[in-house]
Structure 1
Amino acid sequence: MKSKMFLKEKTIHGTALVPIAIHHLSYSSNIDNFFYLHWHYEFEFIVVLEGAIVYTIEDKEYRVMAGQGLYIHSNQLHAARSYNGMHCEACVVLFHPNLFGNNKQGATYSKFVYPILNSQIEFDNYFKPEKPWQKSVIELIKKIDELRDLSLSENELLLKSRLFEIWHLCYQNSIPTSPKLKEKKNYKIERMQPVLDYIHTNYKEEISLMDLAKILPMSEGQFCHTFKEVMNMPPIAYVIRYRILQSCSLLTETDYKIADIARSVGFNNISYFNREFIKAIGCSPSKYRKEE
């Protein structure tokens, strides 16, 4: 999705030699949004130290309490906001897949990184101290956080050893993706492609569930079930998100009025557009335009 590029984070994490970044986040109470919807190539691990954070990753929400952790996969859209206005403190570690070697044909990369990037295996993404191996991941992230004020280049071996241990634990407890299930899902994605093409072409117009279901054709109930299984969200929610992502490019690349942008991407009600934009991106359209 071309419009997704406008949500790519511009911050550079680490260096070419040490592609790792450590962030210690602290937010006072009554702050609504911590950071807006974005994505990056890096893998990301978070541990909440105090309070709680609500993370949105693609279409799912996770309430991460103090002592719990989270994994965010490369290229996934995510945002974070306050839970009940609580004060919050967290440590965040990001690192590029190149940490495991620049050569994508290398043994370490091909065995332990490519399968997760290619969805051949899946990592748990919600860490709780009740599980021993997840507790170990949480403790390792905390130990990495302790290095944040030190020279990363001078502590490169220690830093990498802890990240490799985290990856080892996640890999050892990963879930293989069934080839048959993957093949079945690929078939469903191919079957759903005409619907996606229709949405991408006609998103400016009114689109009903009936219009989309007729394309395959299916009953509306069967279509909703199949679409959600393939795209991880209901069809109308996908239409709304696609419209919102299209509006992001117009907000940053043009000086059109926000009401005109809302209409141009398929929203007839500016208040509805504002609500959906805040829900998806984490801030108002005007604030997004100003900060971008």
Structure 2
Amino acid sequence: MSSSRAGATINTPSHRPFRASQPARGVWQDACAIIEPQINAEGIHFWPFERHFPIDVVHLVFDQRHPIRLNRHDYFELLYGYSGEIAFQVQDHSVRVGEGDLFVMGSTLYHRPVHSGSVRAKAIAVYFLPELIRAGEEANQDVEYLYPFLAQSSGFPHVVPAESGLPGEVLRLIRQAHAELSATAPESRLIVKTCLKMILALLAKHYASYWRGDEALDRRHRNIERLRPLFDYIDRNYGERISVADAAARLNMSRSHFTRFFRQVTAESFAAFLNRFRIAKGQALLVSTDKSIAEVSREVGFCDQSHFGAVFRKLVRTTPLQYRRARAVLQPDPGRWG
């Protein structure tokens, strides 16, 4: 599961750069409104870091009425449960992040918040690219800092419980880093990087017994690469008819093998994935254009408006028209730090 400098761009190999304007640091923001438009067809969430200092702290409000698609990201993520409780789907299982818990997520597993214990929950997230730690480090030293993020597999314990005392120490360091992030002076950036390294050292000590090597990581990367031609095709042609047979043919797989493989890698069926992607595109059009709902439904690949409306209500839990009206008046939560 995402504030940053306006107009910053992140370039990732084989992907078009994503450009976005982000809210001011320290302001609580609706997680869905920020994250959902930044997820591409492959289910990758792009965050617009500053090119030369890729780390951000963001304050998120999770609302169970506003779902977020399954996604992964090239950055690493730490999420501190500030208030309420959030349930996350990680691949095919669920974990709960309570108040004071810490959620640790690397770059290979698809995940998303599925609901909160109350209507709204708050969390403070740290996003950073591993290059920030790798820069200037001796060979293999970066692995010692980053292995809790690199070694994640199906049995990895993503939640560090509040009662361990570690999340409280991490929050103190997050706040110290957050206070320096708006400054560009070398000494301020040194403080931010030092705070991050202290956090990573604490996590490395906590997770020492869970080191599993990189076999599972390499296998997952290979599987995602096998799907990349299909994701690229969907990005370009989501408005056209795309059947399971079409998708399987793109990857030179039989229909049955493709169906099993796609679910194994993404933790959902191809039909569910395609519907979620198209609805997300529809959400963006409803907010950013004055096109009619019928026009939007056709543009994102639905054969008729009624089908689009039915799938939209199922996934977003409101009608397209209600969603458009609500987003037109949506304002960020002005509260800070609680």
Q: Pick from 132, 145, 151: which aligns with 1:99?
A: 132
Q: Pick from 303, 316, 322: which aligns with 1:278?
A: 316
1:261 Cα deviation (Å)? 1.6
Cα 1:205–1:41 change in 2 (3 A) is closer
Q: Which amino acid aligns with 1:266?
A: G
- Listed one character per residue, the Cα deviations across residues 233-257 of structure 1 (whole Å, up to 9, x for unaligned) are 2111222233235446645765432
Q: Pick from 150, 155, 161: which aligns with 1:129?
A: 161
CA contact (8 A) 1:24 1:90 kept: yes
1:88 Cα deviation (Å)? 3.6
User: What is the count of residue pairs matched by the alignment?
Assistant: 276
Partner of 1:7: 38
State how far apart, in whole Å, the 2-side matches of 1:259 and 1:14 are: 39
1:159 Cα deviation (Å)? 1.9
- Listed one character per residue, the Cα deviations across residues 84-125 of structure 1 (whole Å, up to 9, x for unaligned) are 43564444333343431435x8536764578888x6x43746
Aligned-partner SS, 1:144: helix
Partner of 2:215: 178
CA contact (8 A) 2:65 2:119 kept: no
Q: Does 1:169 align with 2:205?
A: yes
Matches within 5 A, 1:1-292: 5=18, 6-7=37-38, 20-23=55-58, 32=64, 42-55=75-88, 62-74=95-107, 80=113, 83-86=116-119, 88-102=121-135, 107=139, 111-112=143-144, 121-122=151-152, 124=156, 126-129=158-161, 135=164, 137-145=166-174, 147=176, 150-151=179-180, 153=188, 156=192, 159-169=195-205, 172=208, 173-178=210-215, 182=218, 186=222, 190=226, 203-209=238-244, 212=247, 216=252, 218=254, 220=256, 222-247=257-282, 250=285, 254-267=289-302, 268=304, 269-275=307-313, 278=316, 284=323
Cα 1:171–1:286 change in 2 (3 A) is farther
CA contact (8 A) 2:177 2:195 kept: no
State how far apart, in whole Å, the 1-side matches of 2:99 and 2:259 are: 36
1:45 Cα deviation (Å)? 0.9
- What runs of 5+ residues in structure 2 fail to find an aligned partner? 1-13, 19-36, 40-44, 182-187, 332-338
1:196 Cα deviation (Å)? 5.4
Cα RMSD of the aligned pairs, angstroms, is 5.0
TM-score, with length taken from structure 1: 0.63
Q: Which amino acid aligns with 2:170?
A: I
State how far apart, in whole Å, the 2-side matches of 1:186 and 1:115 are: 19
TM-score, with length taken from structure 2: 0.57
Cα 1:36–1:224 change in 2 (3 A) is closer
1:223 Cα deviation (Å)? 3.7
CA contact (8 A) 2:88 2:114 kept: yes
State how far apart, in whole Å, the 1-side matches of 2:147 and 2:139 are: 12
Q: Which amino acid aligns with 1:126?
A: H
CA contact (8 A) 1:204 1:265 kept: yes
Q: Which amino acid aligns with 1:235?
A: F
State how far apart, in whole Å, the 1-side matches of 2:325 and 2:109 are: 24
CA contact (8 A) 1:50 1:88 kept: yes
Identity %: 20
- What runs of 5+ residues in structure 1 fail to find an aligned partner? none
